[in-house]
Amino acid sequence: MCELLAMSANTPTDLCFSFTGLTRRGGETGPHKDGWGVAFYEGKGVRAFHDADASANSRIAEVVQTHPIKSEVAVCHIRQANVGDICLANTHPFMRELWGRYWVFAHNGQLSAFQSSPGFYEPVGTTDSEALFCDILNHLRTHCDRNTGTDDVVDRLVRLSSAYASQGVFNLLLSNGDWLFTYCTTRMASITRRAPFGPARLKDADVTVDFESETTPDDIVSVIVTEPLTSDELWDVYQPGEWRLWRKGEVIRSGRADAESRTLSE
Amino acid sequence: MCELLAMSANTPTDLCFSFTGLTRRGGETGPHKDGWGVAFYEGKGVRAFHDADASANSRIAEVVQTHPIKSEVAVCHIRQANVGDICLANTHPFMRELWGRYWVFAHNGQLSAFQSSPGFYEPVGTTDSEALFCDILNHLRTHCDRNTGTDDVVDRLVRLSSAYASQGVFNLLLSNGDWLFTYCTTRMASITRRAPFGPARLKDADVTVDFESETTPDDIVSVIVTEPLTSDELWDVYQPGEWRLWRKGEVIRSGRADAESRTLSE
């Protein structure tokens, strides 16, 4: 299994604090030592870092922890390999271009029997996760176009996610740089920080931050993870089948797919 | 204009020495301060770094200079913007997936009147370079498939490059991780280092390396650039219209498109 981390914010914000906590689980406080990756949107561009080594010992992870990279949407993953070798090509998050935007995907779980249909997008590596990502994009490209409204795209993502979830564990982070779609089958929680900001302490490292000194009163910053990162804040735990669509730090749509709807009909 | 750097090697090799020389031209010994990027293949995976700031002052560039990332194919670019804003989305090298491989592209020059045809791949940013890259991949996807031999793909790349070159300056680096295609209209030179290895001194920084201490007798490492990086080695300068296909450090095909052939007929 792996661990996921995402951020949605209404102002460019760095991920140093959360990333520091998560990456300790990559070989130090957790067993997710088989690679890590993070993608930061900056406008329509994406700055990505990937490493097939343990994040706890990675020189590049250390730079990302200490060098503030400001973003409104970030997606991060640390890997404990199950399907696919330990190599760079199998390291999340994965990225493809669709309709002139970069789409970024990270997945926690396993769908070992998943069979993708041939399509335009193809996996480069050998993980079920990348095959799922390509399947999602092939589906969107076939059934939608650049003018399809976000609500319709998200409705499809919910139906697809529910169908995948019926085949295994499918905790998902997916962004096109504008919005961030999150889907939980087993483990996901979020926290939204806004004024009045307070301090927070990481679970996985002896690090405390006082967000008040790093923010303005208008900032809204949400963090979504598979396991809460701090010990002194209240995290909002997702229910199985629950999905939330984030934009600029806030949930703009959410819902819960019931077990009966977890079939794909297109 | 911009500066290009690529490496082709028969064994995973770091780019620290050449990258150090090139990045000094990004705001220190040269005016190419509008961003930089580098992509390192590792197997079928790619480790990429991009920054819209000057490379001479970039913390991330400093890490790439000093942290040996070993690769058999690397593509690097420093930018002096002409078409397109200074932003991450306009920072080379650009990357897309085709036939289950990542393709990486960097370009020096300007084709300000270039009009791309609609196709599957679309630019995310606003540079003519990214539009050219998408045009190349759309062309390959339309006229070739995964089973097309490298010779046929390269023949098409030569014809396409010659057609672009008839519209402006088109110095090109393009790789699919297996081979590296290079095309020169105005400025390109290469050097192939093999045993017996000797020392080399950078033009742009007070740095000398003794390659003998960093290599084995079987290593073959070639570097391709728009302007030679060292002051004490003999670089092999490309002629206008000359192209070279590199694999594992050696030229495996080359040729020169004459002016008459610089039209596209498909």
Percent of chain B with pLDDT over 90: 70
Nearest-CB residue to A88 (from B43, B101, B123): B43
Size of interface A-B (CB pairs under 8 A): 82
Give the pLDDT of residue A258: 67
Tell if the CB–CB gap between A124 and B89 is shorter than 8 Å. Answer: no
- Chain A positions in Cβ-Cβ contact with residue B89 (cut-off 8 Å): 42-45
Q: How confident is the model at residue A23 (pLDDT cuts 50, 70, 90)?
A: confident
Tell if the CB–CB gap between B91 and A67 is shorter than 8 Å. Answer: no
- B254-259 long-range contacts (CB < 8 A, ≥24 apart) are B255/B158, B257/B158, B257/B159, B257/B161, B257/B162, B257/B165, B259/B166
Residues near B5 by beta carbon (within 8 Å), at least 6 away in sequence:
B15, B18, B19, B22, B74, B75, B76, B77, B223, B224, B225, B226, B229
Tell if the CB–CB gap between B88 and A124 is shorter than 8 Å. Answer: no
Give the pLDDT of residue A263: 42
With CA atoms as reference, the chain B residue closest to A44 would be B89
Tell if the CB–CB gap between A45 and B101 is shorter than 8 Å. Answer: no
With CA atoms as reference, the chain B residue closest to A119 would be B99
Give the pLDDT of residue A32: 81
Q: Is the pLDDT of residue B263 over 60?
A: no
Q: Span A137-154, mean pLDDT?
A: 96
Q: Is the pLDDT of residue B266 over 60?
A: no
Q: Is the pLDDT of residue B262 over 80?
A: no
Give the pLDDT of residue B260: 44
Q: Is the pLDDT of residue A265 over 60?
A: no
Tell if the CB–CB gap between A44 and B121 is shorter than 8 Å. Answer: no
Nearest-CB residue to B87 (from A45, A50, A101): A45
* Nearest by Cα to A229 from A6, A66, A1, A31: A6
Q: Report ipTM for this prediction.
A: 0.93
- Chain A positions in Cβ-Cβ contact with residue B67 (cut-off 8 Å): 59-60
- Chain B positions in Cβ-Cβ contact with residue A177 (cut-off 8 Å): none
- Distance from A56 to chain B by nearest Cα, in Å? 16
Nearest-CB residue to A100 (from B44, B60, B123): B123
The CATH number, out of the four listed (2.30.180.10, 3.90.1150.10, 3.40.50.300, 3.60.20.10), of the domain defined by the range A3-261: 3.60.20.10
Nearest-CB residue to A91 (from B45, B67, B122): B45
- Distance from A163 to chain B by nearest Cα, in Å? 25
Axis crossing angle, helix B59-66 with helix B16-24, rounded to the nearest 10: 150
- Hey, where are the domains in chain A? 3-261
- Chain A positions in Cβ-Cβ contact with residue B38 (cut-off 8 Å): none
- Distance from A175 to chain B by nearest Cα, in Å? 15
DSSP-assigned letter for residue A178: S
Give the pLDDT of residue A262: 44
Phi, psi angle pair for B183, to nearest 5°:
-140, 135
Cα–Cα distances (Å) from B148 to B47, B154, B155, B159, in that order, read 27, 10, 11, 16
pLDDT tens, position by position, B28-71: 788 888 889 999 999 999 999 999 888 888 888 888 888 999 99
The owner of tokens 């539009």 is B131
Nearest-CB residue to A101 (from B48, B88, B124): B124
pLDDT tens, position by position, A147-192: 999 999 999 999 999 999 999 999 999 999 999 999 999 999 999 9
Q: Are A6 and A76 in contact (CB under 8 A)?
A: yes
- Chain A positions in Cβ-Cβ contact with residue B122 (cut-off 8 Å): 97, 99-100
> Is A2 assigned a catalytic role?
yes
pLDDT tens, position by position, B151-197: 999 999 999 999 999 999 999 999 999 999 999 999 999 999 999 99
Tell if the CB–CB gap between A124 and B100 is shorter than 8 Å. Answer: yes
Task: Please give the residue that has the higher pLDDT: either B10 or A29.
Answer: B10
